[in-house]
Amino acid sequence: MARLEIKGLSAGVRGKRILRGVDLVLEEGDSLALLGPNGHGKSTLLGCIMGNPAFEIYEGSVTYGGKDVLSLPVDERSRLGIFLGMQNPVEVPGVPSSDFLKAAMNARREKKLSLFQFIRKAEAAYKEVGIPFEMAQRNLNEGFSGGERKKNEILQMRLLEPGLAMLDEIDSGLDVDAIEKVAETILKEKDRGTSFLVISHYARLFRLIRPNRSAIMVNGRIVLEGGPDLIDRIDKEGYEWLRKEHGVSLEKIVDAPMNEVSIGVCATKEALDGK
């Protein structure tokens, strides 16, 4: 529940640039649909905000509530109120979900939860999200189906009560009923005042959670921002119109490694010229 400000963010993997100067502001209480074709850097952006060690930051800044997010360790970012529901949550063998959840909930509390308090809260959240409570005994994400993993992400969001929830294709792998349940949970969090940054390829989820804004990412940049109307347009027409109406080249830029950085920068300029 604070302002998120991303300025000139450039980042990549092992010298390969993926984000090429992202500028985006999320006001308190905003919920933004982050759209864009596959492979253009949406997940990378969320990963960089959360601090995924797979990514390198080259330039730019991210602040949340005025704090310099990029200088903080991952766990502090979380305790600041930032949450990332991941596109592909990893399996953590041998670690029971319940131990993990308890550790995560207690990490942001001065007074630790008693076992009884923990069970009461956890059981309610499992029920709300539609996961059998027995699954708390299972190792974290180990052998979970795609849908179970996604529900498990939403469960964690609910229990950790973030100020900013970033959800990366949270609806992929979910059946229609599950999507509705997930959307209900998101709406409850919205009522708490949580801001949302949501990636999805499907208008169905957005129709349910009603974001007030949208932004389109192409080649590692935000090329267009607007209201929720962009969601329906993309759902019906795809992304081609960006080319005609806004001069955005949709061809993916394949970046050379960083030691040939000048080529990357020129290519970006060309692709986005005339916007």
Ligand X SMILES: Nc1ncnc2c1ncn2[C@@H]1O[C@H](COP(=O)(O)OP(=O)(O)O)[C@@H](O)[C@H]1O
Residues within the interface to another protein (CB under 8 A): 50-54, 73-75, 77-79, 83-84, 86, 89-90, 92-96, 99-100, 103-104, 107-108, 139, 156, 160
Structure tokens at 137: 């005994």
Q: Is 253 exposed, middle or buried (0-12, 13-18, 19+ CB in 10 A)?
A: buried
Question: Among another protein, Mg ion, ligand X, none, what binds residue 75 when CB lies within 5 to 8 Å by partner kind?
Answer: another protein
Q: Given the complex with Mg ion, which of 43 and 249 has the nearer CB atom?
A: 43
Give the shortest CB-199-to-another protein separation in angstroms: 16
Q: Which is nearer to another protein, 43 or 219 (CB)?
A: 43
Backbone angles phi, psi at 193, to 5 degrees: 105, 5
CA distance 126 to 156: 10
Two tokens, residue 128: 């709300």
For residue 159, give the H/E element and its range: helix 146-160
Q: Which does 38 bind (CB under 5 to 8 A by kind): another protein, ligand X, Mg ion, none?
A: ligand X
67 Cβ contact partners less than 8 Å away, ≥ 6 residues apart: 80
Burial of 15-53, coded b for 16+ CB within 10 Å and e otherwise, reads: eebbbbbbebebeeebbbbbbbbeebbbbbbbbbbbbee
Least CB distance to another protein at residue 275 (A): 33
Residue 67 binds which of another protein, ligand X, Mg ion, none (CB < 5-8 A, kind-dependent): none
Give me the sheet containing 4-13, strands edge to edge: 16-26, 4-13, 56-64, 67-68
Q: Is 275 helix (H, G, I), strand (E, B) or coil?
A: coil
Backbone phi, then psi, for 142, in 5-degree steps?
A: -70, 120
Q: How far is the CB of 170 from ligand X (least distance, A)?
A: 13
For residue 233, the minimal CB distance to ligand X (Å) is 18
Question: Applying CB under 6 A, does 42 fall inside the site for ligand X?
Answer: yes
When the beta carbons of 42 and 150 are compared against ligand X, the nearer one is 42
Q: Which stretch binds Mg ion (CB under 5 A): 20-28, 35-43, 220-228, 244-252?
A: 35-43
92 with 141: CB under 8 angstroms?
yes
* Nearer of residues 13 and 103 to ligand X, judged by Cβ: 13
* Contact positions with ligand X (CB under 6 A) in 9-28: 13, 18
Number of residues that bind Mg ion (CB under 5 A): 1
Q: Does 43 bind Mg ion (CB under 5 A)?
A: yes
Nearest partner of 234 among 36, 55, 12, 87, judged by Cα:
36
For Mg ion, which is the closer residue by CB, 102 or 221?
A: 221
44 sits near ligand X (criterion: CB under 6 A): yes
Task: Give residues 49-68 in contact with ligand X (rule: CB under 6 A).
Answer: 54
Residues that bind Mg ion (CB under 5 A): 43
**Residues of the shown chain interacting with ligand X in the complex, contacts defined by CB under 6 A:** 13, 18, 36, 38-44, 54
